[in-house]
Structure 1
């Protein structure tokens, strides 16, 4: 996922994540497939991160 973050605006990491979710640094070490799986499993924060990373409004 760190490769995806390179093409996103820096302030994307300032988005608040739900309580109980991983930090942005922890999400940055994951693969995109892990983010997708976490979102499908409804784990805290995964849907938010997936939405932000796939939204073209946050591209550089």
Structure 2
């Protein structure tokens, strides 16, 4: 099962786009995501790593 079928944008996460200045004088759009605590915990539990177990 894909993660995008488990979570709903606007409820579990929100995508945001910001613009950053580049050293050459240009700009670059950057897409990022804001997660709810519940979604972050779910992703953490699904990763099945030692660091994930400590974080959750």
| TM-score, normalised by the number of residues in structure 1 | 0.28
| TM-score, normalised by the number of residues in structure 2 | 0.30
Higher relative contact order (CA 8 A, sep 6+): 1
Max Rg structure:
2
Task: Identify the structure with the greater strand proportion.
Answer: 2
Task: Identify the structure with the greater helix proportion.
Answer: 1
